[in-house]
Structure 1
Amino acid sequence: MTSQPLAAGWGKPDLDLSGADWQSSSRGAGDVQIAFVEGFIAMRNSERPESPSLIFAPDEWRKFVLGARGGEFDLT
């Protein structure tokens, strides 16, 4: 983890993602990539990798994945 302060009041560390091993879905579909960095999960738009990444703690990631599987974020 870098020695920089937590990101703008969100309580997330300012992670150095420059060397992150970004992974796409197992099907190769979609625009989302994730990386596991220093105990956190980073998520970004693969079509715009320079845009900000979302950072999740493990418990937040679990809740996000369960919500997505349950259709909580379905926009159709």
Structure 2
Amino acid sequence: MTTAKPDPAKIDFSTVTWEKSPFSGGNNNCVEFGQIGDDLVAIRDSKRPEQAPLIYTRGEIGALLLGAKAGCFDHLA
């Protein structure tokens, strides 16, 4: 079953607990992740928390993390 993604403009993000990687180094090159309910994950730019985050399903985030762990995106860093 696919989770329908809500319009980010209609979500109250004030209750989201945002997390960032401990590898970000504190140099403002950070993205933050926050869980929304049981099935969705929001991603935002830590420098622009007022902008609407991007919304992904847990399956999409899982595929991203598997690809990152496998080195699929190393050429982008």
- 1:27 aligned to which of 23, 27, 52: 23
What number of residue pairs does the alignment pair up? 66
- Give the fraction of aligned pairs with identical amino acids, expressed as a percent: 35
Q: CA RMSD in A?
A: 1.9
Query: Quick check: which one's helix share is greater?
Result: 2
The equivalences for 1:1-76 within 5 A come to 11-14=4-7, 15-29=11-25, 30-39=29-38, 40-73=40-73, 74-76=75-77
Runs (4+) of structure 1 exceeding 4 A deviation are none
Give the structure-1-normalised TM-score: 0.68
| Cα distance in 1 for residues equivalent to 2:37 and 2:13 | 10
Higher relative contact order (CA 8 A, sep 6+): 2
Where do 5+ consecutive residues of structure 2 fail to align? none
Report the alpha carbon displacement of residue 53 of structure 1 after superposing the two structures with TM. Answer: 0.8
